């Protein structure tokens, strides 16, 4: 079994249109995103060169741009799109993305969806 290192992005707080209700379609809401990317970081550790690393700043900028412009109805769709952005870097072998909508449910701090995707999942989705 091949082991990989973890690159983590914690509590990325963004605003977007997300949801099925009329108010959700008109007003941007907060979404809280947590990401874990599994990649082999040894080449970057040896070279100390960003060209050998997963550039998590670049990945985060792509996610911010995508989320802030998105207008999805379902959290499931948005979280899947975020995972695909992370997997664009060939060094990322697997990603776990959790997206929460704080205050979406009465009496709950938040509601969220967590998914795990691999490079193989990207290839499978492209074939369908």
Each residue of 15-63: pLDDT tens digit? 999 999 999 999 999 999 999 999 999 999 999 999 999 999 999 999 9
Between the alpha carbon of residue 15 and those of residues 52, 66, 73, the distances in Å are 32, 11, 14
Between CA 25 and CA 73 the distance in angstroms is 8
Enclosing domain of residue 36? 5-127
Q: For the chain, what is the domain count?
A: 1
Classify residue 100 by burial, with Cβ atoms within 10 Å: 0-12, 13-18, 19+: buried
Residue 78 DSSP code:
H
pLDDT digits (tens, 9 = 90+) for 83-124: 999 999 999 999 999 999 998 888 888 899 999 999 888 776
Residues known to be catalytic? 101
The residues, any chain, with a CB within 8 Å of residue 68's CB and separated by 6 or more, are 14, 15, 16
Write down the pTM of the prediction.
0.91
**CATH, residue 73:** 3.30.1130.10
């Amino acid at each position: 079994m091949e082991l990989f290192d973890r690159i983590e992005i914690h509590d990325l707080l963004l605003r977007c249109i997300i949801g099925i209700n009329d108010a959700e379609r008109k007003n941007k809401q907060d979404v809280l995103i947590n990401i874990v990317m599994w990649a082999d970081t040894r080449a970057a550790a040896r070279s100390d060169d960003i060209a050998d690393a997963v550039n998590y700043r670049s990945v985060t900028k792509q996610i911010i741009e995508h989320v802030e412009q998105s207008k999805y109805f379902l959290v499931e769709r948005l979280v899947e799109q975020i995972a695909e952005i992370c997997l664009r870097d060939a060094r990322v072998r697997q990603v776990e993305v959790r997206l929460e909508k704080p205050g979406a449910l009465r009496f709950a701090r938040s509601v969220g969806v967590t998914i795990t995707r691999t490079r193989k999942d990207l290839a499978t989705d492209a074939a369908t």
